[in-house]
Structure 1
């Protein structure tokens, strides 16, 4: 190993929903949003889409784009404020917000001097409060298109789901002058497989769709959420 390699910063890429936290942030937030705003028409349209398209074999990439179409017309500042209120309520609710084992691992990586990066199809208004609490400096997440001060319902590339997570991760590491072989990643769902395959040290959090069997076949490390 060269002196340059020993100085390379190691990064730890964490999926968030069901990997680090115990809920699906996006679905939880929509319930919270419609309860707080009283937008019954919007809620009915959103629930109809969920009923039609959310099933065990669904494409997370498709659902991700469909989800954000329901943000069309929302004010980014209002969404950000609502995201903070969502976090404050869920974080101190009766259900534990974080999965204990992945949270312990995240903190252990930080103590070892590694930089944690969130990689999520969720969006900054929900991820920023989590990142602030856990002292995470880097977010690779969904960026929403804004026109005339309102969301258009479209997302900007790269879409941080599936192979899009690898694209975002690669761009980040190139900007940092780091290499994926020296990095770690955590995920729980089959959609995280490309990201986990891209780093030198992948870890799977059990309980997600179809990923644990793939991980064991690859000889990857598997941990329980608690």
Structure 2
């Protein structure tokens, strides 16, 4: 756990500055330049930042069983690679293609009620990255808004964030028809540039803000971190404490 920060500053446990240059030019419409207002905002990635590992395979494991989920993910990786080599991947990049295939094969036809029940079963299994959880709580104590921006699904994230004081969630949406998942996304996959664009739009729609902090992992969150007044890369140590 980190020590209490000085007034007006954010804690810095095991973090480093982004090594890459800003993803957007300073004069780009997507760049956050001067902002004004009484309140700051802290943006947090989720997987590999606030928690250990990836929450999506865990969620699918709660839905169809862990062994079947692991086999489905391995098959999605193989299928995604073959499709991407032929230029027919369903996602904008290889990871996006794997995710699209994985979700379609495992969640199509799932009632939303069952998805919500699976989300609740996940809650006690999450391995929190305790230092970053303390950073989030410290931002809340200092009166800043906290927003989680993640490629994880909006199906289960509200259950996992319950009680943490998160003001808003930017996540990947799943399409629902008549109370059942179609297996397709209803939003862009909220990672990399898509995440940066969602964060930019959030600031434009909810500002003005006094300052922005961002926390994410390398390299997928660099476009978001480049938008921040203070963006930092999180590296989770293997023996880090967790909840």
Q: Is TM more than 0.5 here?
A: yes
Corresponding position: 1:197 with 2:231 = no
TM-score, scaled relative to structure 1:
0.75
Structure 2's unaligned 5+ residue stretches are 1-34, 82-92
- For the 8 Å contact 1:116–1:136, the answer to whether it is kept is yes
- For the 8 Å contact 1:166–1:194, the answer to whether it is kept is yes
Structure 1's unaligned 5+ residue stretches are 92-96, 209-223
* Superposition deviation, residue 207 in structure 1: 5.0
* Superposition deviation, residue 133 in structure 1: 2.8
- For the 8 Å contact 1:10–1:182, the answer to whether it is kept is yes
| C-alpha RMSD of the superposition | 2.8
Corresponding position: 1:76 with 2:112 = yes
- For the 8 Å contact 2:175–2:182, the answer to whether it is kept is yes
* Superposition deviation, residue 35 in structure 1: 2.1
In structure 2, the partner of 1:137 is 167
Corresponding position: 1:126 with 2:126 = no
Deviates more, 1:27-36 or 1:9-18: 27-36
| Higher RCO by CA contacts (8 Å cutoff, separation 6 or greater) | 2
* Superposition deviation, residue 44 in structure 1: 4.8
Q: Quick one: distance in 1 between partners of 2:94 and 2:49?
A: 18
Distance 1:51 1:225, change over 3 A: farther
Match of 1:32 among 62, 65, 68: 62
In structure 2, the partner of 1:219 is none
In structure 2, the partner of 1:63 is 98
Secondary structure of the residue aligned to 1:125 is: coil
Q: Paired residues, what number?
A: 194
Secondary structure of the residue aligned to 1:191 is: coil
Match of 1:151 among 181, 187, 197: 181
* Superposition deviation, residue 124 in structure 1: 2.4
- For the 8 Å contact 1:19–1:225, the answer to whether it is kept is no
In structure 1, the partner of 2:201 is 171
* Superposition deviation, residue 163 in structure 1: 0.4
* Superposition deviation, residue 52 in structure 1: 5.2
Match of 1:48 among 71, 75, 80: 75
In structure 2, the partner of 1:105 is 135
* Superposition deviation, residue 31 in structure 1: 2.1
Higher helix share: 1
Task: Spell out, residue by residue over 1:115-169, the C-alpha distance to the aligned partner (whole angstroms, 9 max, x if none).
Answer: 1111111112321122213121311001111123221221123321110101111
- For the 8 Å contact 2:115–2:156, the answer to whether it is kept is no
Task: Spell out, residue by residue over 1:62-96, the C-alpha distance to the aligned partner (whole angstroms, 9 max, x if none).
Answer: 333233223211111210111111223x04xxxxx
Runs of 4+ in 1 over 6 A off after TM superposition: none
TM-score, scaled relative to structure 2:
0.70
